[in-house]
Amino acid sequence: MDRRDFLSLGGAALAAFLAACDSEGPRAAKGALEFASRTNQDVEEALFRHLTMDHVKRGGRLAGDALPRYYVSPSVPVWDPSIRGAWKLEVGGAVANPLTLDMKDLRGLPSVTHRVNHYCVEGWTALTEWTGVRVSLLAKLAGARPDAKFVDFQSFDSGYHESWDLASALHPQTLICYAYGGALLTPGRGAPARLHSPVKLGYKSVKYLTRIVFLPHQNGGYWTDRGYEWFAGT
């Protein structure tokens, strides 16, 4: 997409919204807003670059414990081995070699520690430090098939999940994390393992992971199914 296409899409969305507000009332305005949202998502997808890194300012202060905790269950989800057995992460779907990894397996893989921004849909940003394994490595180990175009990240947090486009999932800064700020994740941070990436808004970074499923189709998500944008790029 070039600059002319970008401006044309934005202009079309604005024109549709204004026309609806002036002529056909709330129903048309709602349709125009939905069109604008889809257009915004199309623009985000077109502007996404797989190798564009999130850069942070030198000397920035880490959010540390000030980073808000979030979950949809009535109380913080905790993996209890006496009830659920040992935690494992399954990697399956459209793959040649499905994987089942325990924490020892996950921590035994080549890891990355990086400082990146965490972008919230509410508009704030925080500097964070994560340690984990690239999703791209898991995709390689599992042998993601050519028909795998999306990835669904699933959790034990009351069914919370979010599906991603494959390119964003394979971004070098998209990690399956087991440590935050140099320490193993706590339940409030999404233990035993969680997804994190600076290329998506925070609600796409699923905590309390149990499954990664490669799919030929999009599979919505907890907040996507409640009206939030699906692509949610930063």
Q: Tell me: the pLDDT tens digits for 69-120?
A: 999 999 999 999 999 999 999 999 999 999 999 999 999 999 999 999 999 9
pLDDT in tens, 111-155: 999 999 999 999 999 999 999 999 999 999 999 999 999 999 999
The average pLDDT across 202-230 equals 98
Question: Taking a C-beta distance cutoff of 8 angstroms, is the pair 214, 145 a contact?
Answer: yes
Q: What is the pLDDT of residue 186?
A: 98
What span, in angstroms and rounded, lies between the C-alpha atoms of 165 and 170? 9
Q: What is the pLDDT of residue 46?
A: 61
pLDDT in tens, 164-206: 999 999 999 999 999 999 999 999 999 999 999 999 999 999 9
Residue of 74, 122, 213 lying closest to 221 (CA atoms) = 213
Residue of 42, 51, 40, 46 lying closest to 17 (CA atoms) = 40
Angle at alpha carbon of residue 129, lines to 116 and 179, rounded to 5°: 135
CA dihedral (175, 93, 148, 189) in degrees, to 10, reads -20
DSSP H or E segment with residue 131: strand 125-134
Give 36's strand partners: none
Q: 50: helix, coil or strand?
A: coil
- Look up the pTM and report it: 0.82
Side-chain-side CA neighbours of residue 168 (13 Å): 27
Residue of 232, 212, 213, 216 lying closest to 224 (CA atoms) = 232
Residue of 193, 108, 93, 101 lying closest to 143 (CA atoms) = 93
Structure tokens, 37: 């949202």
- In terms of pLDDT, which residue wins out, 39 or 13? 39
Give 78's strand partners: none
